[in-house]
Structure 1
């Protein structure tokens, strides 16, 4: 039963999607579940990499802290997402820190075991490269947002990226995070985020109820972003 439950989590991860039942069972046999309390660190920047992780439940805030002590959120990882793959090939350890935003469960994929499997299955190495490429796109988007856009545009872009058009309209986004975490993710303060959400709500573009953000006019958000970015 344990392997079945672990295998179900692994199949939700893009990195392992499409693998055979035999491969999933083998990986499930060596992954190590770990529970994290809210605000507990999974790893800290520059710690030696023991492997990478797949989020099973909850949310993990991956961030860096600058010389002034300001925390910049890189990404909040949710169930089914993997993180830390790049550190597998780095002698300097994890490039950022990871902390649970809420009570969470993750699966550690140990470095030695997965590298042994990759040596036998080169196609898995290509999958890992694809996953790291996706993380790189997230980083490039973050840098672009923080350097080129105002808070309204950054929030609109965040909403557009997280809106699953296949389930709308209206599109509903489960925030599942505090305003402070979301504000840090888009590079602003909780107060500014609240004011920006209020402006979007007053324009009848969105509605926020509890931890659910409902998008009523995604086209207006897209038009605003396009206008401010000169049609980009």
Structure 2
């Protein structure tokens, strides 16, 4: 966040098994990011020296940890390029696509695509995730509802027209599939 402007950006929405502030582990410098818990959680904390020892002494840890770090860096790269190159509507559509739950889709009737995790967030938080503000996110979500792309309200969204959402996002199936597989592998 920027204390001068009050603007914020959400870099990651973390879940079970995720690590926070990995950059400090890599370079040893303080990091200005802050974590906010949306739900009650249990947190495992370890001194930086201990984690570095794990990296050096346990190849099995590295086989899980290094791909995770790579995934985090790729997500940061995607966020940076999306913020620089896409409009808010496209960024919001991509965010929604990344949070479609393929497991719930299999069990859901009528080919609807349930959205997980972000459906519980308020529009201000969604704005922080796509580099925008609550009012703009609200306007785009209302447009998606009017167009028949998305249905539901806070807590429960389903995508009714996946192709239209992909079109709005400018996403190819290859990229969407890769993003979903990466997210699934992390959890």
**Does TM, normalized by the shorter one, top 0.5?**
yes
Aligned to 2:184: none
Whether 1:99 aligns to 2:36 is yes
Structure 1: which 5+ residue stretches go unaligned? 1-63
What is the CA-CA distance between 1:67 and the residue it aligns to?
Answer: 5.5
Q: How many angstroms apart in 2 are the aligned matches of 1:134 and 1:99?
A: 21
Residue 187 in structure 1 maps to residue 124 in structure 2: no
Distance 1:75 1:128 in 2: 17
Q: Structure 1 residues 89 and 149, CA, compared in 2 at 3 Å: closer, same or farther? A: closer
| CA RMSD, Structure 1 to Structure 2 (Å) | 2.4
Q: In structure 2, how many angstroms separate the alpha carbons of the residues matched to 1:176 and 1:107?
A: 25
Q: Which moved more, 1:142-151 or 1:165-174?
A: 165-174
Distance 1:86 1:128, change over 3 A: farther
Q: Which residue pairs with 1:21 in the alignment?
A: none
Computing the radius of gyration from Cα coordinates, the structure with the larger value is 1
Aligned residue pair count: 166
Report whether the alignment pairs 1:170 with 2:107: no
Distance 1:198 1:144, change over 3 A: same
**Structure 2 gap segments, 5+ residues each:** 106-110, 176-187
Considering fraction of residues, name the structure with more helix.
2
Please state how far the C-alpha of 1:193 moved relative to its aligned partner: 0.9
* CA-CA distance at 1:212 after TM superposition: 1.5
- Tell me, yes or no, if the aligned pair for 2:93 and 2:166 is still in contact at 8 Å: yes
1:73 is paired with a residue of what secondary structure? coil
Partner of 1:209: 153
Deviates more, 1:89-98 or 1:143-152: 89-98
- Secondary structure, counterpart of 1:106 in structure 2: coil
**CA deviation map 1:135-173 (0-9, x unaligned):** 111111111111111111111111111112343131212
Partner residue, 1:77: 14
Q: How does 1:32-111 map to 2 (within 5 A)?
A: 64-65=1-2, 68-111=5-48
In structure 2, distance between residues paired with 1:217 and 1:120? 49
How far is 1:89 from its partner?
2.7
SS of aligned partner of 2:115: strand
Is residue 65–residue 72 contact of structure 1 (8 Å, CA) maintained in 2?
Answer: no
More strand by share: 1
| Contact 1:162–1:173 (CA under 8 A) maintained in structure 2 | yes
Contact 1:205 1:218 in 2 (8 A): yes
TM-score after normalising by structure 1: 0.63
Q: Which has the higher relative contact order, 1 or 2, with Cα contacts under 8 A spaced 6 or more apart?
A: 2
Q: Give, in whole Å, the separation in 1 of the partners of 2:126 and 2:168.
A: 21
